[in-house]
Every structure is written in structure tokens, then in C-alpha cells.
Amino acid sequence: MASILVGTANAAIFYSLTMQPQVTVSTPVIKFASAPDEPSGSTVYDAWCRLTAKSYPNATLTYEKAVYLNNTDGVNPHSFMLRYVSISPSNSTSVANWNSIKFLVYNSSGYVFSLNFTVSSNNWILAPSSGQTGYYSIPKSTGWWIRLETLSPATAIKGEVCNIQIAVDVQQ
């Protein structure tokens, strides 16, 4: 008798989906722009900026219009918020070189909201404590600005540097 070899195989069915994104480079609807009180040495691009501010011992230094946030959409309002990402130094004796660093947002009617960093002992305290503001709507074709205020104690060490990263989250 002939022997019969019976084999089993697992059948699997495969198929592929195809996605073809098209990505176009464009200008953000809410974007940064240079402002009259932009700190010297700052760099401002549409979607990124670096503000090189100073802080003086025992004196509040105010950059009234440090950078603009412009809604370039001529038809629709758009909303944005400020969100804390990182700060350095953090939780060390170096933090005591600052009393506060504040980012206050204004429009033509006045103060709107802020994201503030104050110091307690060697720790940064965020306000709002969540590290993010709510969303605020900029009307079409309108510019708002960020007022930057810094304050260091009389005992601050000259040359100390604080680096803050803040995201500007935009709802399109």
C-alpha cells in the first residue's frame, strides 16, 4: 500500500491599503512677526522664534511688544494657546537667579491672558499650573502681541542663562 502524506498549512489572507498623502508647503495662518520691542539678537520666523531677552537684578525689564502673533487669514478667526514645553535650569540653586519670567498676550483692547514662570525657593511655579493656557480666538486679519517681563533678585549672578521652550498650539 502506498503511504499518503497529509500536510496541513495555515492559510493567511493579506491585502494592502494604499495611502497617497500630498503635502504642500504653506504659510501658517497664525504666525510670528517681528515687533518693535523685540529683544536685540532675537530671531523671528513665521513658525519659530528665539527671543534673547535680558533680566536685571532688582528691576523689572519689560519688552512691551516682544513679538507679534498675526492671524493672516482674511476670512476666518483662528484660535491658539501657549503651552509649556521645557525650562532649564530647573529645580536647582541656579533657579534662584530669577524671580519671574512672564509672557503676557495683548490685543488692541488690552491684556488677554498669560503664561507665567515665578520662583519659589529653587523651583519654577507655572501659572496656569497646568502649564497651558486655554484657547483664545484671534479675529481675521488681526495681530496680537506678547509682552515679555523679566525680574531677577538683587543677588542674581551675572551671566546666568534660562532657556524656556513654549509651544504656540494653533487650531486651524
Confidence class of residue 1 from pLDDT cuts 50, 70 and 90? very low
Mean pLDDT throughout 96-106?
A: 97
pLDDT, residue 10, reads: 66
pLDDT 10s digits, 84-96 = 999 999 988 999 9
For the chain, the structural domain boundaries read 30-171
Quick check: 150 and 53 in contact, CB under 8 A? yes
Q: Could you tell me the pLDDT band of residue 12, with boundaries at 50, 70 and 90?
A: confident
What's the mean per-residue pLDDT of the chain?
93
Mean pLDDT of 38-57: 97
Average pLDDT over residues 103-128: 97
Residue 172: the pLDDT is 84
Rounded to two decimals, the pTM is 0.86
Residue 5 has a pLDDT of: 54
What is the percent of the chain where pLDDT is above 70? 94
